Structure 1
Amino acid sequence: MDRHEATQQQWHTLEQEKAVEQSATDAAAGLTTQEAEKRLQQHGLNKLPEKKAESKLIRFLKHFNDVLIYVLLVAAIITAVLGHYTDTLVIIIVAIVNASIGYFQEAKAEDALKSIQALLSPQAQIIRDNKRIEVDATHITIGDIVLLNAGDKVPADLRLLSADHLKIEESALTGEAEAAEKTTEALAADTGLGDRRNMAFTSTTVSAGSGKGVVVAIGKDTEIGKINQMMREVEQLKTPLLQQTEQFGKTVSVFILLTAGATYLFGHFLRDYDQETLLMSIIGLAVAAIPEGLPAILSIILAIGVRRMARQKAIVRNLPSVETLGAVSVICSDKTGTLTKNEMTVQQVAVKDVEYNISGIGYAPDGDISKQDQKVNVADEPLLQQLITCFYVCNDATLDKDEKEGWVAKGDPTENALVTLAHKAGENIVRNKPERKATLPFSSDYKYMATSADTSNGPVIYIKGAPDRLLDMATREAGTNGEQDFDRSYWEQQITQLANQGLRVIGAAYKKTDQLTDRLEHEDIEKDIVFLGLAGIIDPPRDEAIASIQSCHEAGITVKMITGDHADTAKAIGKQMGIGDGEKIMVGKTLQNMDDAALQKAAQEYDVFARTSPEHKLRLVNALQASNIICAMTGDGVNDAPALKQANVGIAMGIKGTEVTKEASEMVLADDNFSTIVEAVKEGRRIYDNLKKTILFILPTNGAESFLIIASILFGTVMPLLPVQILWVNMVTSLTVSLALAFEPMEPDAMKRPPRPVREPLLNGYFAWRILFVSVLIGGGTLWLCTRLHAANVDEATVRTITVQTIVIAQLFHLFNCRSIGRSAFSQQFFSNRAIYVVAAVLFVLQACVTYIPFMNQVFDTVPLSLDQWKYPVYLGLATFIIVEVEKAIAVRVRSKNSKVKI
């Protein structure tokens, strides 16, 4: 069988003998060395393919791939041809600075694939030439016989040939918190990945028992390899902001080229400018219209958001993702370890006619045992004490307190929960634990575990296991007055009641013996046992996650649970958390058979998905995105990685998440707290609002400068600004004054409004009007001022210097207008954002430098101004502020009368 055929084969459907035959191997002796070498040559090494890394130079040059930068570079070439080398140098420096900021802020890479490589087992125990040997896992091939023991990492995908109490921890791959109990029987063809009990998958860990299996898939053909391939095939989506800014850049570029071309033709044929002067004016127009500082200021604002979110335990690995969180309308969340603690917890126990509730979650023994809302003393409840003692003695887990890590449970998750219950019951049970004499390990065939112990009431065999199995074995039950007739129907009702709450039910029983033995056999306990009671165990939801989901709903965000766990558990957990109605659920088996159109509808209709595979999660994310829904995906296991990479925002758990998941994500929660996502969404919405305020502030600078140049050419007057002066104005307003808007607090209604539409343009109708209005206001006012100064015979250098100061100071006053888009500048605390006053001071220093320092006078063609000449910029700036505030008040009234006007 070649590698392709091996991959296509459904190995879980084959009997062991048939699997060995199909693999062309020997279950006892394994492959011969010669045959193994031949297959290694044929199939290749057992490792994942590596992608060739992109050079740093190429990654840097990609940041020049922007239409606005192209226009700037063309302007630089023309100025160089005309001999204006200072202008050329300044333009090139601006382009390089923008590219450098983008390059150094770029955090996304293909490290996820390297992390998957690290998951593979380095060594493996195999049988070759009828000998047990240890080999490098990369040299395992199809047909090798692999031996598994507790603590081993599975080196390849195996069809199990034997399983002796074998349990494998597969949560990172399947999403199940409980270790999977392995068997060897053949399974149905439609058995989901999480239910393939006769298979062992690479990267998973043996938690108990031992086993043997034949290698049926290696490298890229393993389940982990398929995840690796899915991640390679995932197309990196541009964030909504990048899509908006890209479209915005194209629109601005077309506008600049058309305007510059029309203006050039007008100046060439209808005015008497010489060719060099006209070309420099057109270059000045192009440079004026380009918001070249915008990419840099966007990166800086996003970086500030990253730092703020880091303080809130959300580590952002990709800058634009900060803002994307504010646009998310669906959060797809894994259950285990994300919405829940991934720490099994006993929540209810039941003995005859009495039910108890246990508070506290996780493995820390903090909590009380109560009945009818009253705390009980376990010493006063003999049946309860006996039940907990049974669970504690018939148990291989341990619970210890570590100075650094706190309470640490070691063992099977279910047994960890039962040990924690014993510690909650009090020191008396822990201290007086009966000594175990013999143990019969849990067997998937018998579905129970038994231990013999020497108790104060004589030798006893304690039994815990699947309740239906214990019910079949029981002939008596423990009651308040001692042993009594067995009421099976009562216990079946109790089991159903607990199971309907999504609890995993464990039964307990005992059998008295005449003497202790060093060895137990199933025949010793298969009948005449006394049934004690039940424990209901669950991986509990996080309390803070429930509140966060409610906050998401208020913000118009839908939360969907996508888990590999069982349907009943998923429904129960979902209902507790406010996800779904506790009834409507879709399982992976149904999802698997849906075409893309049907899945697209189901992805929006259902909120809870169970028994899902990595492929299912990826398809669900794709289906939501096909409906133009911006979605985030949270998770902590390897099985979540492809979906995290595909999602608009992938969110990984920082504590319990695998390295693969972290590297595939855009954001990592350092505290594994779902509520941190809500804080991140708040920050994302705040950032987007502030980005729009920044654009509303910056673009009128470009508009005013463009207006000045176009008007000058139309009227045939002297150019009011040189290209190098325009660059100075653009950069100084972008990198100082506008930076203050990044620190504006969140708008009061930010988390009460629905997410913005995915196709919402960066500039809506009102924004376009406002930018045009302020551009004409500042540009027209400055042009009027220039005309008055020329009429007063002020020299050209002084007029240009006053023009530079007028545009900058008018923008400074306009900054206060932009603190709130649709409300008055006085509707919030005027001094709530101290950054405004800091940058204003920095701006005045810079403007003083460009006006009074000789070196800067020479570079920017400015001259010193008298104190009296500063009144012109201040008066125009104050007038701008007042007029824009009046315009905003009128716009608010229009909006209240016509809800279609969006501000």
Structure 2
Amino acid sequence: MIESETDLKGLSTEDVLQSRTSFGANSIDHAKKNIFLNSVKEMVVEPMFLLLLTATSIYFITGDYGNGIFMAAAILLVSAISLYQESKSRSAVNALKKLSQPKSKVIRNGETIEIASEEIVVGDLLQCEEGTFIPADGIIVKSNDFAVNESVLTGESMAVLKSESSTIKTVFLGTIVTSGLAICKVTTVGNKTELGKIGKSLENIVEEKTPLQVQMGNFVKKMSLVGLVIFAFVWAINYYNSNEVLDSLLKALTLAMSIIPEEIPVAFTTFMALGSWRLLKMGIIVKQTKTVETLGSATVICTDKTGTITENKMSLAQCYTLSDNSVNDNFSENSTIELLTIAMWASEPIPFDPMEIALHDAYSKLNIADERPNFKLVHEYPLSGKPPMMTHVFENKNGKRIIAAKGATEALIATSNLSSEEKEQVLSAMKKMALQGYRVLGVGLTPFSSTTYPVKQQDFSFEFKGLVAFYDPPKANIKATFETLYDAGIQLKIVTGDNAETTATIAKQIGFRNADKTLNGDELMAMDEETLKARVMETAIFTRMFPEAKLKIIKALKDNNQIVAMTGDGVNDGPALKSAHIGIAMGKKGTEIAKQAANLILVDDDFSKMIDAIAMGRKIYSNLKKAIQYIISIHIPIILIVFIPLALGWIYPNIFSPVHVIFLEIIMGPTCSIIYENEPMERNLMQVQPRPFTNTFFKLKEITISIIQGIVITIGLLFVYQYCLYSNCSESTTRTLVFVTLISSNIFLTLTNRSFYYSVLTTLKYKNNLVFIIISATVLLTAALLFIPLFASFFEFERVSASQIVLSVLVGFISVLWIEIYKAFKRRKVHYNK
């Protein structure tokens, strides 16, 4: 039997500091990559960077040092912005990684505390329990039915039984505790551990690109290829007209630069990383940023009951004793004391399960002598079976033996020789308890005398003693949480190991819908795939579940094209958490195995945070869509105003040069990545159905709107161009007015695209200070280009009249604000359909 933690003092604070100085920290160091250098390498092979570098080189070769210096400065500025955004994204991801690192329990100064695994030192006493990763190499001091999976080192998937008295008493970093509990003394940390020596890292997870990333990458590649073709075409036309190779190349580069939407991948990375960082501030750890993309698509959430719907604060509520067929909440009665004593024999000496903790608490308050210290645990059957039960075999020095079991009522009934009448009495008592929302366990005892123990605990013949009932109250906020998720079009399903009556009672207390539609694990496993595929959609509560059954639920929901989120906290939840699109572990009560398998960790075990997570997923997706629609819409007029005059042989064929395009790029980059990322969530976003995850990023209607926006802006630019020709304006004046029209269109487009549903008057009230900052900076920079002679000359602009500027701004306004009429019709349609 394991001694209590207080008998094992562990290291003192001074010992910890000395050990860390002598033996180092518990972290595996790898060859560090130069992250900055890698980022620079990736940046310089980007098509846009190569185009800018080529244009700059041509300016210097042709002796145009002014433009060459400007382009070189622009390259540095664009590169600095890009590296800063990447650094900010990387910092957010690193913060997530740091917080998602595993925790470990150690005994120090006579107390059990939880610390980051990296803080463990040689000499520490580790408390290793079922469901945890062993954080360092060590030797077992005390143990209780302790088994470890060492496949990370040996490749062998079978668990290995270990104890302080066996020949195999060492434990290793990275291995998994599959059952029991042990106190281990740390002998080696960090690089000197077995795992550290062979150079394996537990963090080497290669993150595959998501469908959205692939779609965006393909889009940028296609646009780059289009740019290459048009670039060659424009170069040929210019060369044909001028017979000047470099000048023609420079003008062709202008068009190529205007085509490549290099802001898209930057926007995606920024949105996902900063979205994860924002979730972190809310108490939600997203282990991989790609999870954020999936969150907004969740259609079903499978939640467990204990600790998610309920407080996970078990208290002993009632006892039923078969001997007198009575239910009692007075635990000082003799029959009740006997029942609780047997239940204690069937419990772990150091409890970590909430029900066992409640039993220990109730038992400690009884004024009776505790015989357990005089006995030794000689054999144990861990929690197993369908439904599960557990059995302990104790023996004292005189050979007296006590074999006690507790577990699901049905499991105890199946292993006991009860008469039909007694079975009815037990089941009736269990049902009454369950209908009060209590979680019920059966308790039994067997007088087994042989030294040859059966292979399975179910082979014992138990004397059924009674029932113990625990109450775990629902969380105060869970009803409102469920209603919000229902309103968001998300189905909720309870998946629990508890019985149907208890679960349904709790479910009804919190307003859970369709609480009468239940299905138990055995019924589920007996169904064929087609039957289950239909039943899984209409069933709300799944009871008496076990790992294989949970996996079947996830698979059946996936077969119905559902995007499944699943909560879990135990060792056996690992496979289902990995199988779900979004695995959700609890930060406090969750085992390390559950946390490692999950995509998302709720730090405070607060299920209501799922509202924040899903809302953030939807907001990020919506804002990213706005940013990319903005990018598409503003790129179209830039491309066409460069291409059309040249292709049609107009009098001023090269209205913009690379310096103009790069200036526009400097403005557009922060607009899409900073303004739209910081946009608040639109108020109707949690009242709409989840978006289908299988869809492409844009619907045809959405992409069509963006293209139309771009074409209408182009028409506005061409109108100003033709107006200038009609008014006999010079090339510089024409360039100036077209440029002002484009900048005006960009500003109005930024404002209108903040919502494709609400009017610009509504979105102006949104709290986003960056809108004012970025737009103000754009206006000031444009004014500087127009009114400071040095800049105006450099950009080949000419002083224009106030009325001409007003005309350009007015055309930009009309070219963009027409969409407000479209949005008004859209709102009206939704209003009438309600």
Q: Structure 1 residues 808 and 625, CA, compared in 2 at 3 Å: closer, same or farther? A: farther
Q: Structure 1 residues 48 and 732, CA, compared in 2 at 3 Å: closer, same or farther? A: closer
Q: Which residue pairs with 2:358 in the alignment?
A: 417
Length-normalised TM-score, structure 1: 0.62
1:561/1:579 contact within 8 Å kept: no
2:327/2:429 contact within 8 Å kept: no
2:638 counterpart of 1:705: yes
Give the alignment partner of residue 651 of structure 2, picking from 712, 717, 729. Answer: 717
Q: Which residue pairs with 2:460 in the alignment?
A: none
Q: Structure 1 residues 715 and 346, CA, compared in 2 at 3 Å: closer, same or farther? A: farther
Q: Which residue pairs with 1:325 in the alignment?
A: 295
2:776 counterpart of 1:806: no
Q: Cα distance, 1:686 vs. partner?
A: 1.9
2:21 counterpart of 1:80: no
2:177 counterpart of 1:203: yes
Give the alignment partner of residue 832 of structure 1, picking from 757, 766, 784. Answer: 766
Identity, % of aligned pairs?
Answer: 23
Equivalent position SS for 2:765: coil
Q: Cα distance, 1:618 vs. partner?
A: 7.8
Alpha-carbon separation, structure 2, partners of 1:660 and 1:153 = 15
Alpha-carbon separation, structure 1, partners of 2:502 and 2:403 = 29
1:707/1:775 contact within 8 Å kept: no
2:317/2:471 contact within 8 Å kept: yes
2:141/2:183 contact within 8 Å kept: no
Taking the TM superposition and a 5 Å limit, the aligned residue runs for 1:52-67 are 56=35, 60=39, 64=43
Taking the TM superposition and a 5 Å limit, the aligned residue runs for 1:588-599 are none
Partner letter of residue 585 of structure 1? G
Partner letter of residue 177 of structure 2? S
Give the alignment partner of residue 822 of structure 1, picking from 740, 752, 757. Answer: 757
Partner letter of residue 632 of structure 2? L
Q: Structure 1 residues 629 and 737, CA, compared in 2 at 3 Å: closer, same or farther? A: closer
Q: Structure 1 residues 320 and 493, CA, compared in 2 at 3 Å: closer, same or farther? A: closer
1:849/1:856 contact within 8 Å kept: yes
Equivalent position SS for 1:708: helix
Extract unaligned runs of 5+ from structure 1.
Answer: 1-46, 126-135, 141-145, 165-172, 174-200, 211-218, 357-377, 399-408, 424-429, 452-461, 475-485, 510-529
Partner letter of residue 212 of structure 2? L
Q: Cα distance, 1:721 vs. partner?
A: 1.7
Give the alignment partner of residue 441 of structure 2, picking from 502, 505, 525. Answer: 505
Q: Structure 1 residues 627 and 832, CA, compared in 2 at 3 Å: closer, same or farther? A: same
Taking the TM superposition and a 5 Å limit, the aligned residue runs for 1:79-478 are 79-81=56-58, 83=60, 85=68, 86-87=70-71, 90-91=74-75, 94=78, 97-98=81-82, 101-102=85-86, 104-106=88-90, 107=93, 149=143, 202-203=176-177, 206-207=180-181, 236-265=207-236, 274-302=244-272, 305-333=275-303, 337-338=307-308, 342-350=312-320, 387=336, 391=340, 413-420=354-361, 430=365, 433-434=367-368, 436=370, 466=406
Q: Which residue pairs with 2:688 in the alignment?
A: 753
Alpha-carbon separation, structure 2, partners of 1:301 and 1:621 = 29
Q: Cα distance, 1:812 vs. partner?
A: 1.6
Q: Cα distance, 1:785 vs. partner?
A: 1.8
Q: Structure 1 residues 729 and 704, CA, compared in 2 at 3 Å: closer, same or farther? A: same
Alpha-carbon separation, structure 1, partners of 2:33 and 2:593 = 20
Equivalent position SS for 2:367: coil
Equivalent position SS for 2:262: coil
Extract unaligned runs of 5+ from structure 2.
Answer: 1-25, 61-66, 105-116, 126-134, 151-157, 166-173, 185-192, 382-389, 396-401, 446-462
Task: Summarize deviations over 1:694-744 as a string: whole Å, max 9, x none.
Answer: 223332221111121112112333222222211222331341477444444
Alpha-carbon separation, structure 2, partners of 1:264 and 1:810 = 28
Q: Cα distance, 1:256 vs. partner?
A: 3.1
Alpha-carbon separation, structure 2, partners of 1:790 and 1:113 = 63
Task: Summarize deviations over 1:854-902 as a string: whole Å, max 9, x none.
Answer: 7755765556666555323322233234423234445677999999xxx
Task: Summarize deviations over 1:478-518 as a string: whole Å, max 9, x none.
Answer: xxxxxxxx978534532465579783325599xxxxxxxxx
1:391/1:464 contact within 8 Å kept: no
Q: Structure 1 residues 759 and 260, CA, compared in 2 at 3 Å: closer, same or farther? A: farther
Moved more, 798-807 or 621-630: 621-630
Q: Cα distance, 1:416 vs. partner?
A: 1.9
Q: Structure 1 residues 790 and 531, CA, compared in 2 at 3 Å: closer, same or farther? A: closer
Alpha-carbon separation, structure 2, partners of 1:665 and 1:382 = 40
2:280/2:286 contact within 8 Å kept: yes
Q: Structure 1 residues 65 and 279, CA, compared in 2 at 3 Å: closer, same or farther? A: closer
Q: Structure 1 residues 585 and 810, CA, compared in 2 at 3 Å: closer, same or farther? A: same
1:738/1:815 contact within 8 Å kept: no
Q: Structure 1 residues 280 and 586, CA, compared in 2 at 3 Å: closer, same or farther? A: farther
Length-normalised TM-score, structure 2: 0.66
2:58/2:246 contact within 8 Å kept: no
Q: Which residue pairs with 1:521 in the alignment?
A: none
Task: Summarize deviations over 1:401-457 as a string: whole Å, max 9, x none.
Answer: xxxxxxxx966643421355589xxxxxx5x83455777768869968999xxxxxx
Q: Which residue pairs with 1:695 in the alignment?
A: 628
Alpha-carbon separation, structure 1, partners of 2:209 and 2:559 = 14
2:516 counterpart of 1:585: no
Moved more, 789-798 or 325-334: 789-798
Taking the TM superposition and a 5 Å limit, the aligned residue runs for 1:656-675 are 656-658=589-591, 662=595, 666-675=599-608
Q: Which residue pairs with 2:714 in the alignment?
A: 779
1:389/1:433 contact within 8 Å kept: no
Q: Cα distance, 1:465 vs. partner?
A: 6.1
Moved more, 858-867 or 762-771: 858-867
Alpha-carbon separation, structure 1, partners of 2:572 and 2:36 = 34
Q: Structure 1 residues 307 and 449, CA, compared in 2 at 3 Å: closer, same or farther? A: same
Q: Cα distance, 1:541 vs. partner?
A: 6.0
Alpha-carbon separation, structure 2, partners of 1:817 and 1:301 = 20
Partner letter of residue 503 of structure 1? R
Alpha-carbon separation, structure 2, partners of 1:490 and 1:600 = 37
Equivalent position SS for 2:489: coil
Alpha-carbon separation, structure 1, partners of 2:207 and 2:531 = 25
Q: Structure 1 residues 236 and 829, CA, compared in 2 at 3 Å: closer, same or farther? A: closer
Q: Which residue pairs with 1:883 in the alignment?
A: 818
Equivalent position SS for 2:689: coil
Alpha-carbon separation, structure 1, partners of 2:514 and 2:34 = 45
Give the alignment partner of residue 485 of structure 2, picking from 533, 552, 561. Answer: 552
1:570/1:610 contact within 8 Å kept: no
2:698 counterpart of 1:763: yes
Alpha-carbon separation, structure 1, partners of 2:37 and 2:505 = 48
Q: Structure 1 residues 78 and 327, CA, compared in 2 at 3 Å: closer, same or farther? A: same
Moved more, 809-818 or 738-747: 738-747
Equivalent position SS for 1:655: coil
2:754/2:763 contact within 8 Å kept: no
Alpha-carbon separation, structure 2, partners of 1:64 and 1:645 = 34
Partner letter of residue 709 of structure 1? V
